[in-house]
Copies of this chain bind each other. A is one copy, B any other.
């Protein structure tokens, strides 16, 4: 089994379409490669793959990931895909927009909390996913499934905030609202956690992390006010529901003693200096035993 990082940039990607500053600058000038928005695929050639969150970049991610491409001489004919399912952990555009790329009469399953599937049902645009081919299955937190042989997946709630487009009705407070989930990926050999959004590391989460081999953790911002400092917006990391990497309650401090095999930041905003491997910030996370994820990175599970 392998985990492929399809993309590890936060919403907007790197570079962001309307941003000439921050970390986007170096990408527009071709000094560093572009990175797509956060998503991973887990599986192998024999069992197929499960995509965790369907980013708006999913078509591009399939184009740059040979493991997810259709094959010639397939028993189903020329129309086929190794993608057997997609798990959507919440209803943010960042995590569901990519489903619109998976139209075209291909059989696969969508798994997600009932609340998320209801939002998809309310948005008629998603009915391009023909129910004759695409089955929606509810997957609540705490429930474990085996979507493909050799792989077990369980969602768990994480402190967060309501999706941006529901803020008007639900408010901006963070907490355990049921909208934000981490994903626990279990194989015969290892346990991996994918947590793209986290507003607080509580004791329960800490205990879960301590039993895992691999961690992909919310690396949205390095410092809470970095977007303000770069002129990229008024919101702090905390306001967006993300713990800053360097905060006293952040992952670098709180997870320093966790004996994981690998710790990598994931869901990294285009303001975050850790994108630059020549930066002090990158040196800081490396010294602390962390690295970053990037498009195409593979972890053997």
- Chain A positions near chain B (C-beta within 8 angstroms): 11-13, 15-22, 24-25, 28, 34, 56-60, 62-63, 69-72, 74, 77-81, 83, 93, 96-97, 100-106, 119, 122-125, 127-128, 164-166, 230-233
Contacts and interface: CB of A to CB of B under 8 A. Distances in A.
Contact of A79 (B34, B58, B93, B232): B232
11 contacts: A11-B103, A13-B59, A17-B70, A17-B104, A19-B70, A20-B78, A21-B72, A21-B77, A21-B78, A79-B233, A105-B233
Contacts of A28: 69-70
Can you tell how many copies of this chain the complex includes?
A: 2
A28 B80 CA distance: 13
Contacts of A71: 20
Nearest to A234: B105
Given A17-B101, A18-B81, A128-B165, 6 more contacts: A17-B81, A21-B72, A60-B60, A93-B100, A96-B125, A124-B166
A56 B58 CA distance: 10
A17 B128 contact: no
A164 B56 contact: no
A102 B97 CA distance: 12
State the majority secondary structure of interface residues on A.
loop
B164 A128 contact: yes
Interface centre among A13, A24, A97 (most CB of B within 10 A): A97
A87 to B, nearest CB: 18
Given A28-B70, A231-B78, A59 B62 contact: no
